[in-house]
Structure formats: structure tokens, C-alpha cells
Amino acid sequence: MKVSGQDGTYLQYYKFSGRRDDAGDKRGYIKAIIDSALEREDLKGVIEKYLREIWKRGKEGIT
């Protein structure tokens, strides 16, 4: 869709529904990859296991 401005410029946009991932920075990029992997049945179990291992390693170092 396009919306015209008074000065002759226009803004083009697309209206969507669902989750929006922002891969414009490192944190958003990583979150988007993890979220996408967790939605895939062929990757979900492996990624969940890996995240649990990371969480456990991190908690062991906390005093």
C-alpha cells in the first residue's frame, strides 16, 4: 500500500499479522534464529536440549 504526502513523497507499507523479528542488531538476529528453530519439529528437541545445557552451565558458575 502507498500513502501520499502533501509534498509529493509517499510511504510504502505492508500490513501483516503474526510475530515480527528484528534482525537489525545482534541480539534480535539471534532471538529470531532461536525462535524459528524452536518452531521446526526437526530442530526443536535439539535446540531445547542445547539451551538447557547452556542454562545449566551458566547457573553452575553463579554463586
Model confidence pLDDT, tens digit, residues 4-58? 666 778 777 778 788 888 888 999 999 999 999 999 999 999 999 999 999 998 8
Q: What's the pTM? A: 0.61
Query: Which domain range does residue 27 map to?
Result: 2-60
Instruction: Kindly provide the b/e burial profile for residues 18-45, where b requires at least 16 CB atoms within 10 angstroms of the residue's own CB.
Output: eeeeeeeeeeeeeeeeeeebeeeeeeee
Overall domain count for the chain = 1
pLDDT at residue 51, rounded to an integer: 93
pLDDT value of residue 47: 96
Q: Which long-range contacts (CB under 8 A, 24 or more apart) does 33-36 make?
A: none
Please tell me the predicted confidence (pLDDT) of residue 34.
95
